[in-house]
């Protein structure tokens, strides 16, 4: 080989190295674009179902093949406007900003909601995204008022925010006067936001106190969690640990684990205290290393459903659990989004591949619905709550929301 040939070969090799990564990159970008396009089409069809100028019914799921929408008295209304904001963020078309606003603005009065903890989901997914993408100061004020409302449910005695008002456990043996559910971790982001924009640390302090109390009382040694912990309001003692939407009091309800992974990852982002990062990683490891996590990364509704050592809570009472335990795409979507964030932090690289694998699985035909099916929700195969015999193997708006968020996080990861 002459010197010239060697030089030419080396040049060709070097340029190939430069071409290959960008080809791989553009394949990933094409994948993301394609998924956003499918989502955009589903959501166009979905919004076409609501001709009213001011929406009052918000899509949530389906029942017997028909759409189920909720009024402004549930916990899920913020997700649909949130999905519209994510589409707007992807295509930057004014039409989508208008649509997102059309579905966000009727929620304004919820800033005063004090009857449950889900004001975080409601307002941060709708107005939170509205403020992030438009910087309209009026939305900031609404979010701060929402945070104030959430803080009214905090008690210094228990050290946490009360999720629900009074209710009984399934076996009726426990009266839950101060129930805290793991989902509550998700509502803390609103509080950190409020401290960031006002400079008043009160909101963040409450959020961090809640995260600490939950870390102490709501987790088992293996880093799975109890869905519900009930506190004695007068003393702050733990009265009961159990489930409401999972299989058994001692089982790992998969969406509960997903809320926890996402929640502590977010608390680390907001506090930069490594204790939360370490904890979030342990929660994610529980998920990823679980023998019962299917190869396609979409978990069963409960990691322990039907297994020896887990006795179904009283809800089963006369009902049998179906032989086929359904998957929960919503839990997968929440975890997928969280893993993308976890992967951006120190020591988190190992979470990137499982995040991409989960995303690809959700984007496959197994979970993404063909256009004009699934009542125009994007993802199939989620579970609301089997104990209540409600929303079993159906689409759920929050599965779509966290899936779109995960797509954005994947896209952001390619730009780093």
User: Which residues contact ligand GLY by CB under 6 A?
Assistant: 75, 183, 245, 255, 384
Q: Are 407 and 359 in contact (CB under 8 A)?
A: yes
The active-site residue out of 33, 48, 74, 118 is 118
273 is catalytic: no
Cβ contacts of 288 within 8 Å, gap of 6 or more: 351, 354
First and final C-alpha spacing in the chain: 40
User: Six-digit token pair at 344?
Assistant: 């951006």
Q: Which of 183, 249, 302, 328 is catalytic?
A: 183
For residues 381 and 326, the answer to whether their CB atoms sit within 8 Å is yes
Report the C-alpha gap between 126 and 84 in whole angstroms: 9
CB of 271 to ligand GLY, least distance (A): 23
Distance CA(33)–CA(359), nearest Å, equals 14
CA distance 242 to 251: 9
Pairing type for strands 390-394 and 382-385 reads antiparallel
Name which of 101 and 207 has its Cβ closer to ligand GLY.
207
**Nearer to ligand GLY (CB atom), residue 257 or residue 368:** 257
Asked about 221 being catalytic, the answer comes back as no
Shortest CB 90 distance to ligand GLY, Å: 25
Which residue shows structure tokens 């040049």? 11
Instruction: Please give the DSSP secondary-structure letter assigned to residue 54.
Output: S
Q: Which is nearer to ligand GLY, 97 or 183 (CB)?
A: 183
Phi, psi of 297 (to 5 degrees): 75, 5
Q: How far is 84 from 102, CA to CA, in rounded Å?
A: 10
Shortest distance (Å) from residue 246 CB to ligand GLY: 10
Please report how close the Cβ of residue 223 comes to ligand GLY at its closest, in angstroms: 19
CB of 249 to ligand GLY, least distance (A): 17
Instruction: Measure the CA–CA gap between 250 and 233, rounded to whole angstroms.
Output: 23
SS3 259: helix
- Which residue has its beta carbon closest to ligand GLY? 183
Which residues are annotated as catalytic? 118, 183
């Amino acid at each position: 080989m002459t010197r010239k040939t060697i030089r030419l070969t080396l040049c060709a090799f070097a340029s190939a190295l430069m071409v290959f990564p960008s080809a791989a990159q553009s394949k990933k970008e094409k994948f993301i674009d394609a998924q956003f396009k499918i989502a955009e089409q589903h959501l166009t069809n979905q919004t076409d179902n609501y001709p009213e100028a001011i929406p009052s019914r918000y899509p949530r799921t389906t029942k017997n093949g028909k759409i189920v929408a909720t009024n402004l008295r549930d916990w899920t209304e913020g997700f649909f406007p949130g999905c519209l904001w994510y589409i707007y963020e992807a295509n930057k078309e004014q039409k989508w900003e208008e649509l997102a606003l059309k579905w966000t603005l009727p929620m304004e009065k919820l800033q005063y909601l004090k009857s449950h903890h889900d004001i975080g989901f409601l307002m941060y997914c709708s107005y939170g995204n509205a403020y992030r993408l438009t910087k309209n100061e009026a939305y900031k004020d609404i979010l701060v008022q929402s945070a104030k409302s959430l803080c009214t449910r905090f008690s210094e005695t228990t050290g946490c925010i009360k999720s629900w008002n009074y209710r009984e456990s399934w076996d009726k043996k426990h009266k839950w006067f101060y129930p805290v559910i793991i989902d509550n971790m998700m509502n803390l982001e609103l509080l950190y936001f409020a401290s960031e924009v006002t400079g008043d640390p009160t909101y963040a302090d409450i959020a961090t106190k809640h995260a600490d109390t939950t870390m102490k009382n709501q987790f088992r040694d293996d880093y799975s969690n109890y869905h519900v912990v009930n506190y004695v309001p007068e003393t702050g003692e733990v009265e009961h640990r159990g489930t409401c939407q999972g299989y058994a009091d001692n089982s790992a309800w998969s969406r509960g684990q997903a809320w926890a992974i996402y929640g502590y990852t977010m608390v680390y982002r907001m506090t930069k205290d490594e204790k939360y990062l370490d904890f979030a990683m342990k929660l994610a490891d529980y998920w990823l290393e679980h023998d019962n996590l299917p190869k396609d990364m979409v978990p069963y509704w409960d990691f322990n459903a039907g297994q020896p050592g887990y006795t179904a809570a009283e809800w089963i009472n006369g009902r049998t659990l179906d032989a086929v335990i359904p998957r929960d795409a919503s839990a997968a979507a929440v975890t997928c989004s969280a893993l993308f964030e976890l992967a951006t932090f120190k020591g988190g690289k190992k979470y990137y591949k499982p995040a991409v694998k989960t995303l690809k699985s959700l984007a496959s035909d197994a979970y993404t619905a063909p256009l004009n099916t699934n009542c125009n929700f994007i993802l199939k195969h989620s579970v609301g709550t089997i104990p209540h015999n409600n929303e079993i193997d159906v689409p759920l708006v929050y599965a779509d929301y966290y899936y779109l968020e995960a797509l954005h996080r994947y896209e952001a990861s390619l730009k780093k």
